[in-house]
Amino acid sequence: MKPINVGLLGIGTVGGGTWTVLTRNQQEITRRAGRPIQISVVADKNLALARNVTGGGCRLTDDAFSVVADPHVDIVVELIGGYGVAKDLVLKAIENGKHVVTANKALLAVHGNEIFAAARSKGVMVAFEAAVAGGIPIIKALREGLTANRIQWIAGIINGTTNFILSEMRDKGLSFETVLKEAQRLGYAEADPTFDVEGIDAAHKLTIMSAIAFGIPMQFDKAHIEGISRLEAEDIKYAEQLGYRIKLLGITKRKTEGIELRVHPTLIPARRLIANVEGAMNAVLVQGDAVGATLYYGKGAGAEPTASAVIADLVDVTRMATADPENRVPHLAFQPNAVADIPVLPMAEVETSYYLRLRVEDKPGVLADITRILADQQISIDAMIQREPAEGEMQTDIIMLTHLTREKRIDGAIASIEKLSVVRRKVIRLRLEELG
């Protein structure tokens, strides 16, 4: 049977892994797909690198636009990344009637609505399993495996760099800055780690999962995003004493008033499986009404784990290429005319529990003043630690865990607490999720 010809755009880490795995497992992949899948052309600005990876096994070019215009290419695999030229290439490939496979979460989170609409109008597929959680098949699970369920919430460790940093901070008691330098030395963090440590990468991935889970458009611009760069080692230690671990979580929930879409450091009970995901690993916890909680765990990045997802998409597209477009699995799980314009809730309306750390003067009446302010905002305390000050110290830390409350109430309480003359620094506030 005639092979499917693939045009590969970018042969860096993931592109090189895709070439290697597709070549190594060619026979097995052909048996699954029903026909051979071959990379017939690779586009990369670094032709020497492309030649070294492919060993001259296909045509090479430094002009990616010639690939998306090539009439002999059936599927374009976009592994360039970013919002710029990648968007132009993907839209041009679609315009030319080619199916697209991409690992570009940033592109889809920001421009996915436009890209999927273009693909529908041309009757082609855009597949993107590799865009979220590397080798973990979470997109297929949400879009197909859990299709009988009304998804209630998703909570995910979906950035390996930040999870490595938090694991090291907890294990070794080191500061964020110290561990970040080590992560960069080991290759877990980029020279400019902003997208990872400030939560932007996780928010891109969460936006995609939220759209699939709840049948809503991509709404990255409405996500609440906080990273880990201001997290202090003391809070990791105090959380541990209270039976919690801190992870950077992407959380999206279906509520009566709308959808929660948020990324931030989060306390999770240490007994939860997801709290024990360490190092650079990823995990996604999905709660469905019929199935209950399901956990997906594995490598969220790397050459071959991500290539595994890219090639799975190639096989899916190959199988479905001749199917009537109306009978294919929709890009965002729900039929295009059934996508709902449900609002994303502002953070002030989000309801969760909180961890508060207050540095106060060690004198009588302080705790009474603080609890009165919390009571005025209808916030009740679940647990508390008051650290004994060291000999000669005149200040101490009070750590509180609250019951469920709205963010706007916590905001009001913190504003009032910080006005007290006995409070010596800004209140540290972290969110807490039981994930039960």
The residues annotated as belonging to the active site are 205
Can you tell me the distance from the alpha carbon of 173 to that of 167, in angstroms, rounded to the nearest whole number? 10
Residues whose CB falls within 8 Å of the CB of residue 177, separated by 6 or more in sequence, listed in order: none
Can you name the residues that pair with 155 across neighbouring β-strands? 251, 285
Q: Smallest Cα–Cα separation from 115: which of 208, 185, 198, 47?
A: 208
Can you tell me the distance from the alpha carbon of 305 to that of 298, in angstroms, rounded to the nearest whole number? 9
